[in-house]
Structure 1
Amino acid sequence: MYKQIRPLLFSINPEVAHDLTLGLLGAAGNTGLAKCLLPAPVQDPVELLGCRFTNRVGLAAGLDKNAACVKGMAALGFGFIEVGTVTPKPQPGNDKPRMFRLSEHEAIINRMGFNNQGLAALTQRVTALRQSGLSFPLGINIGKNKLTSAEQAANDYTQCLAEVAHLADYVTINLSSPNTPGLRDLQFGDELQKLLSAIVDKRSELADQSGSLTPLLVKIAPDMARDDLLSVADQLHASGIDGIIATNTTIDKSSVKGSLHCDEAGGLSGSVLFEKSTEIVATLSQHFRSGAGSVTSTGNVTGSGTGNEMVIVGVGGINSPEQAVEKIAAGADLVQLYSGLIYQGPSLVRQSALAIRNARQA
């Protein structure tokens, strides 16, 4: 069915199509229509981060920034959903147009700039969802406001964490969007250490009050040199971070050179990111574990998410069920979709979850 609808969606502005889709999913989820019409999620449960994930296929942050259509998204068959990025204060993001399709590459360039309705609006929605009985695994992705200086960034992240920790099954620290000036500089060295220390200390303070320690993940960029990647990974692990989401969008547009919109500023996502992001997943897995995360019949990925090992979430360029399996085989414990949904449609969710389960049971 999506093949018939896609030409219509692709005939209108990408951001308008995005907002229209979210509106429809939100309405379908809130009325219960989506749950009635769509099949139940694929059951392939896995225990990670102290949480039971229905299956290993999740929604990446950025699609539902304001937690406006969580029920609708859940009905598509995801095993977990990540909302955000949310910042303390509402902000409009960068000037429009700021999202561009590169259809011949099944790719997208965006420079949205953390446009969101702010922390208060998101927490109000998620609180209502939890009070309604939603037990679905939910991650919340947090960031800093555009006008917040690097020196004050920790305040934004700790403020967000304080408000969402009790609502989220995990919290993702977004340091890798290329669309907020100076944000990626926080991924390295002393700046990273100061930020991590503040965030981890805040988590401990919150845990003392609530009796529950919220898992923390960090979303990294795909554009780091190998030595930098491993240095950052070790720093995250030593600081008590529980997992890494690999990766965000890339600023390297050499793979789409000559295409319409290829020179637009922003981060590139889609099929062209698959090899680079999967290589990073494999590098991280090999670094932290004795071997890459081969799929086993026990319900877990080899070496994944046990003891002090880092959970690895693979995201970037998954456009087919086979590519979802490849991410898992490279060492990812979980995978996330975003651009692939736009080009392949919602059936990619269920197909990917089934493919991963079948590969595990083979």
Structure 2
Amino acid sequence: MYPLLFRAVLSRFDPEFAHHAGMAVIRVLGVPPFSWATSALTKPDPSLAVDALGHTFRSPFGIAAGFDKNAVGVRGLAALGFGHVEVGTVTAIPQEGNPKPRLFRLIADRAVINRMGFNNQGADAVARRLAKLRRGAPDTVIGVNIGKSRVVEVENATADYMASATRLAPLADYLAVNVSSPNTPGLRGLQAVDTLAPLLRAVKAASGNTPLLVKIAPDLADEEIIAIAQMAVAEGLAGIITHNTTISRDGLHTDAATVEAAGAGGLSGAPLKARSLEVLRLVRSVVPPEFCVIAVGGVETADDVRERLDAGATLVQGYTAFLYRGPFWGREINRGLRRR
């Protein structure tokens, strides 16, 4: 039903407008009595619970960073059955992000190109919102993804990340360092191990006892991925998130003119499925069993989630397929996992 509605109606709206409209509905679903009714339909089966990062996740499947940038929809997303919500990316300094339009659908590929540019209300605003959420004690795990403020020069990135970590780590169930978005100039250069190791060491110190993970790009060479994974273990991180969006445009079904018109940005969705599995297996092959690996990229169905769990993922995240499969996507995944 929803795919037909999407193609006939929703796909006609500007993608960013449609996202904000959808988020408004999600926020309503997080408020009683709507949340009670929604949860009754979507609550994950207890058999799906996963213990990781010092917390119990109701389901191994959660929402990736980028969907709820400012922690406004956590209750609604929890009501829809997601086992965790990773909010952000949050920067120390509030920022508008890149000029619009900056979000583009590739419907033939069930994919999206975005160059949002970390648009968010800043660490202080998100921290206040998280503090309110904590008083309500939602039973979903909340991760916070942090990135570099655009106005901060790359050479000052460590202090900027530390400022966000100091403010947000006490309110987060885990913290994720985003050094892999293609939409902030110079950011991906921080993935070089010699640069990344001291940055993560400093952010870990600022994060206290909150588990710290790092999110990498799929476009790195395999040997670079291995080096980062080994360094993350050596530095005492709790885990790694594999992975962010890609700058590749290989193998798309959408006509070349449409892709070119969308311009620069990170590609997410179904086309990342194969590379997602490659990166996951590569990382899992060089980290210890207890090291948390969160798999992201090309996840659409319960079979996709199961494939990643079987390949060594501790947890799995999705985002883009939510736009194409509709509000009960989380329930669909959880029910499929339960049947398996």
2:231 aligned with 1:235: yes
Asked if structure 2 preserves the Cα contact closer than 8 Å seen for 1:223 and 1:251, the reply is: yes
What is the rounded CA distance, in whole Å, between the counterparts of 2:158 and 2:269 in structure 1? 31
The correspondence of residues 152-301 of structure 1 with structure 2, limited to 5 A, is 152-203=156-207, 207=208, 213-256=209-252, 258-263=255-260, 264-289=263-288
Amino acid at match of 2:329: L
> Over residues 176-233 of structure 1, what are the superposed CA-to-partner deviations in whole Å (9 max), with x where a residue is unaligned?
0000000001011321122112112223xxx3xxxxx110011110001111110111
Asked if structure 1 preserves the Cα contact closer than 8 Å seen for 2:42 and 2:330, the reply is: no
Where 2:224 maps in the other structure, the secondary structure is helix
Where 1:287 maps in the other structure, the secondary structure is coil
What is the rounded CA distance, in whole Å, between the counterparts of 1:159 and 1:34 in structure 2? 34
What is the rounded CA distance, in whole Å, between the counterparts of 1:156 and 1:193 in structure 2? 16
Asked if structure 2 preserves the Cα contact closer than 8 Å seen for 1:41 and 1:79, the reply is: no
> Over residues 303-329 of structure 1, what are the superposed CA-to-partner deviations in whole Å (9 max), with x where a residue is unaligned?
4xx3xxx21111101112211111111
In structure 2, the CA distance between the partners of 1:260 and 1:28, relative to structure 1 (3 Å rule), is farther
> Over residues 310-361 of structure 1, what are the superposed CA-to-partner deviations in whole Å (9 max), with x where a residue is unaligned?
21111101112211111111111110010011111233212222333443xx
Amino acid at match of 2:296: V
* TM-superposed deviation, 1:260: 4.7
What is the rounded CA distance, in whole Å, between the counterparts of 2:50 and 2:248 in structure 1? 34
Amino acid at match of 1:113: G
What is the rounded CA distance, in whole Å, between the counterparts of 2:38 and 2:180 in structure 1? 37
* TM-superposed deviation, 1:4: 4.6
Amino acid at match of 2:24: G
In structure 2, the CA distance between the partners of 1:146 and 1:199, relative to structure 1 (3 Å rule), is same
In structure 2, the CA distance between the partners of 1:327 and 1:73, relative to structure 1 (3 Å rule), is same
Instruction: State the match for 1:93 in structure 2.
Output: 97
Q: What is the total number of aligned residue pairs between the two structures?
A: 333
Asked if structure 1 preserves the Cα contact closer than 8 Å seen for 2:158 and 2:202, the reply is: yes
For residue 318 of structure 1, the aligned residue among 277, 299, 323 is 299
What is the rounded CA distance, in whole Å, between the counterparts of 2:13 and 2:246 in structure 1? 25
Structure ranking higher on relative contact order (CA contacts 8 Å, 6+ apart): 2
In structure 2, the CA distance between the partners of 1:94 and 1:315, relative to structure 1 (3 Å rule), is same
Where 1:152 maps in the other structure, the secondary structure is helix
In structure 2, the CA distance between the partners of 1:144 and 1:36, relative to structure 1 (3 Å rule), is same
Amino acid at match of 1:47: D
What is the rounded CA distance, in whole Å, between the counterparts of 1:180 and 1:137 in structure 2? 27
The correspondence of residues 50-199 of structure 1 with structure 2, limited to 5 A, is 50-199=54-203
Instruction: State the match for 1:331 in structure 2.
Output: 312
TM-score w.r.t. structure 1 length?
0.88
Instruction: State the match for 1:10 in structure 2.
Output: 11
Unaligned runs of at least 5 residues, structure 2: none
2:337 aligned with 1:356: yes
Instruction: State the match for 2:30 in structure 1.
Output: 29
Where 1:166 maps in the other structure, the secondary structure is helix
What is the rounded CA distance, in whole Å, between the counterparts of 1:275 and 1:35 in structure 2? 38
In structure 2, the CA distance between the partners of 1:190 and 1:286, relative to structure 1 (3 Å rule), is closer
Asked if structure 1 preserves the Cα contact closer than 8 Å seen for 2:105 and 2:113, the reply is: yes
Instruction: State the match for 2:43 in structure 1.
Output: 41
Where 1:218 maps in the other structure, the secondary structure is strand
Where 1:261 maps in the other structure, the secondary structure is helix
TM-score w.r.t. structure 2 length?
0.94
* TM-superposed deviation, 1:31: 4.3
Amino acid at match of 1:103: I
Where 1:116 maps in the other structure, the secondary structure is coil
> Over residues 241-291 of structure 1, what are the superposed CA-to-partner deviations in whole Å (9 max), with x where a residue is unaligned?
1111111000011222734532210000000001101111011112225xx
Where 1:124 maps in the other structure, the secondary structure is helix
What is the rounded CA distance, in whole Å, between the counterparts of 2:268 and 2:258 in structure 1? 13
What is the rounded CA distance, in whole Å, between the counterparts of 1:322 and 1:29 in structure 2? 28
Where 1:245 maps in the other structure, the secondary structure is strand
Query: Identity percentage over the alignment?
Result: 41
What is the rounded CA distance, in whole Å, between the counterparts of 2:150 and 2:193 in structure 1? 21
Where 1:171 maps in the other structure, the secondary structure is strand
Amino acid at match of 1:221: A
What is the rounded CA distance, in whole Å, between the counterparts of 2:96 and 2:298 in structure 1? 27
Asked if structure 1 preserves the Cα contact closer than 8 Å seen for 2:29 and 2:38, the reply is: no
Asked if structure 2 preserves the Cα contact closer than 8 Å seen for 1:102 and 1:259, the reply is: no
